[in-house]
């Protein structure tokens, strides 16, 4: 289908036409080109801010990948991002729009902190497994509530999951400002540090924690689940054509609730990893909006779990590089957000070339 055309000043005009099939080589060429275009546009913006774009980009790159510390910081950010992205990817596959991963991360964090506070044991594996289970159930139930409302009364899950985010975020604030506040924290909104048994082991003497393995494991697990199992087939059919799914006897209600529960559970465990592996306590604002950024990651990865791992590292690097922009270049935080936004804008905008192509033609008239 042609969606527009414009004769140019000369004899050449262009039209946009629908492709029947996207060539395979474009799978990577389009996002790569979009990324470059985003960086070029970002360069214009940086230049307007009075900063040398080249300097800024190289500082960002060095900060994110230049040394062991940079790489570890990038990965530390990539871990919760990728886990949350896998969570939302699962829902998106079924065309259920869970944008409440942030809230589910918070619920997981609250639940794991509750376990530490009320049921501490001095055995690391037992402690950590209990925390993970509690986090998974808390995040899962939080999301499944929206799933149930969707299945039972057709309540829009975008609205319900979004609203549940704020409830979860403020619920955690209630605990860290109120009953769970560490008396020794000098008034900061945080709980007491977790005991060692409740800390995820760190790797290679860096801040990278065991959550890294969890993220990789989940990516592979869900790749297999979605591509090779009956259940994965069911949720793909549900996502692509709910009518055909009903025709094949696939249960929509059960699957919406199940998928939301699993999605929330993964996000909850991401929250647990963050407080147990990185922060070592529950504190105000511990998540840098990972649950929201995860939506971007899932889309950029075209819902492919393995691609999510790589895209998470890329976005993690952008976050780390952005911090450098603030420190070294004295640019405001929003400059990083603008760069992120540009990348999303270009990559999603570039999608049009997967389904459409531009054709140039000579006008005879």
Partner 1 sequence: MTDDAENALLVAMKGVTKRFTGVVANEDVDFDVRPGEVHALLGENGAGKSTLMNILYGLYHPDEGTITIRGVAKNFSSPRDAIAAGIGMVHQHFMLIPSQKVWENMILGLDDIPAILPRNEIVRRITDLSEQYGLRVDPMANVWQLSIGEQQRVAILQMLFRKANILILDEPTAVLTPQEAERLFKTISQMTSEGHGVVFISHKLDEVMRITDRVTILRKGHVAGRVDTKSTSREQLAEMMMGERVPFSISKPAIEPGNRVLEAERITVLGDRGFPAVNRLTLDIREHEILGLAGVAGNGQQELCEALSGLRKLESGNVVLDGAAISGLAPRTFIDRGIRYIPADRKGTGLVPNMNVEENSILKKYWSHPVARGYLIDWKHVFEFARSLVSRYSVSTPSLYTPVRNLSGGNLQKLMLGRELSDSPRVVIAMHPTWGLDVSATRFVREQLLEERKNGAAVLLVSEDLDELLALSDRLAVICKGELMGIIGDPSAVTLETIGLMMAGTPVESIANNTGGLEQCG
Give the footprint of partner 1 on this chain (CB under 8 A): 1-5, 15, 17, 19-21, 228-231, 233-234, 236-237, 240-241, 243-244, 246-249, 251, 359
Q: Which residues pair with 18 in a beta bridge?
A: 356
CB of 254 to partner 1, least distance (A): 11
Q: What is the 3-class SS of 298-322, one letter each residue?
A: HHHCCCCHHHHHHHHHHHHHHHHHH
CB of 87 to partner 1, least distance (A): 21
For the CA atoms of 173, 281, 273, 258, the dihedral, rounded to the nearest 10 degrees, stands at -40
- CB-count exposure of residue 140 (10 Å: 0-12, 13-18, 19+): buried
2 vs 284, beta carbon nearer partner 1:
2
- Terminal Cα-to-Cα distance of the chain (whole angstroms): 23
24 vs 330, beta carbon nearer partner 1:
24
Helix (H) or strand (E) run with residue 204 in it: none
Q: What is the 3-class SS of 128-197, one letter each residue?
A: HHHHHHHHHHHHHHHHHHHHHHHHHHCCCHHHHHHHHHHHHHHHHHHHHHCCCCCHHHCCCCECCCCCHH
CB of 227 to partner 1, least distance (A): 8
Q: Where are the alpha helices (DSSP H) in 274-304?
A: 290-300
Query: 210 by DSSP, 3-state: which?
Result: coil
67 vs 363, beta carbon nearer partner 1:
363
25 vs 230, beta carbon nearer partner 1:
230
230 vs 330, beta carbon nearer partner 1:
230
244 vs 333, beta carbon nearer partner 1:
244
CB of 322 to partner 1, least distance (A): 36
CB of 243 to partner 1, least distance (A): 5
CB of 252 to partner 1, least distance (A): 11
239 vs 305, beta carbon nearer partner 1:
239
CB of 352 to partner 1, least distance (A): 16
Dist CA 77 CA 319 (whole Å) = 8
Q: Which two structure tokens, joined as six digits, stand for 318? A: 């952008």
């Amino acid at each position: 289908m042609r969606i527009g055309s414009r004769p140019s000043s000369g004899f050449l005009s262009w039209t946009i036409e629908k492709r029947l099939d996207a060539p395979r080589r474009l799978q990577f060429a389009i996002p790569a080109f979009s990324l470059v275009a985003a960086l070029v546009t970002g360069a214009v913006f940086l230049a307007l801010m009075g900063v040398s774009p080249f300097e800024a980009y190289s500082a960002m790159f060095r900060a994110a990948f230049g040394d062991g510390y940079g790489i570890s910081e990038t990965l530390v950010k990539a871990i919760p991002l990728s886990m949350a992205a896998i969570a939302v990817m699962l829902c998106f596959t079924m065309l259920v729009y869970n944008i409440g991963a942030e809230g589910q991360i918070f619920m997981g964090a609250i639940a794991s902190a509750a376990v530490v506070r009320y049921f501490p044991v001095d055995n690391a594996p037992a402690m950590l497994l209990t925390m993970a289970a509690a986090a998974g159930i808390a995040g899962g139930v939080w999301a499944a509530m929206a799933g149930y409302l969707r299945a039972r009364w057709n309540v829009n899950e975008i609205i319900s999951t979004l609203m549940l985010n704020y409830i979860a975020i403020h619920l955690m604030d209630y605990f860290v400002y109120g009953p769970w506040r560490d008396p020794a924290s000098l008034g900061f909104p945080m709980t007491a540090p977790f005991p060692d048994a409740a800390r995820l082991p760190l790797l290679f003497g860096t801040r990278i924690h065991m959550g890294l393995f969890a993220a990789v494991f989940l990516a592979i697990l869900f790749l297999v689940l979605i591509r090779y199992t009956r259940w994965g087939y069911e949720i793909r059919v549900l996502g692509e054509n709910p009518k055909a799914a009903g025709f094949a006897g696939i249960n929509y209600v059960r699957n919406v609730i199940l998928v939301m529960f699993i999605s929330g559970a993964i996000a909850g465990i991401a929250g647990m990893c963050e407080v147990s592996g990185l922060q070592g306590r529950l504190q105000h604002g511990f998540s840098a909006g990972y649950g929201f950024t995860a939506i971007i990651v899932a889309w950029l990865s075209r819902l492919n779990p393995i691609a999510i791992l790589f895209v998470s590292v890329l976005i993690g690097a952008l976050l780390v590089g952005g911090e450098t922009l603030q420190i070294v270049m004295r640019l405001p935080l929003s400059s990083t957000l603008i760069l992120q936004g540009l990348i999303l804008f270009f990559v999603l905008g570039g999608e049009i070339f997967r389904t459409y192509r531009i054709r140039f033609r000579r006008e005879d008239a």
